[in-house]
Amino acid sequence: EIVLTQSPGILSLSPGERATLSCRASQGFSNNYLSWYQQKPGQAPRLLIYGASKRATGIPDTFSGSGSGTEFTLTISRLEAEDFAVYYCQQYGSTPWTFGQGTKVEIK
């Protein structure tokens, strides 16, 4: 099973700042099949990024994904008030598909 480790656990930033979230895999997997989700309290997760770098429908270009192999990054270029949430990465290149433990982006 591939373990995804996200860092940092908590990221304290101010609106307008840049957020950089990391997702590291215990081993490589197919085709950079990595996605990112945003989850707000009391809500279901929402797909942001798939294929490591492709934005899902309706996701603003302030969100970008990058990386390959075992190191992946989600960048939010300028934090808006609605971006403060928990973010999860997921690999779907190797079963069982696995999620990272999450990074909480909180208001500083």
Partner 1 sequence: EVQLVQSGAEVKKPGESLKISCKGSGYNFTSYWIGWVRQMPGKGLEWMGIIYPGDSDTRYSPSFQGQVTMSADKSSSTAYLQWSSLEASDTAMYYCARPTGYPHWYFDLWGRGTMVTVSS
Q: Measured from the CB of residue 52, what is the shortest distance to partner 1 in angstroms?
A: 11
**Of 6, 68, 2, which is closest to residue 37 (Cα–Cα)?**
6
Our CB check for partner 1 shows the closer of 83 and 100 to be 100
Where do we find the tokens 């960048």?
Answer: 75
Our CB check for partner 1 shows the closer of 15 and 69 to be 69
Q: Measured from the CB of residue 47, what is the shortest distance to partner 1 in angstroms?
A: 5
Our CB check for partner 1 shows the closer of 84 and 88 to be 88
> Residues in the site for partner 1, rule: CB under 8 A?
1, 30-31, 33, 35, 37, 39, 43-47, 50-51, 56-57, 88, 90, 92, 95-102
HSE toward the beta carbon, residue 25, CA cutoff 13 A: 27
HSE toward the beta carbon, residue 9, CA cutoff 13 A: 0
Q: Measured from the CB of residue 35, what is the shortest distance to partner 1 in angstroms?
A: 4
Contact 60, 77 (CB under 8 A): no
- Beta bridge partners, 72, equal 23, 67
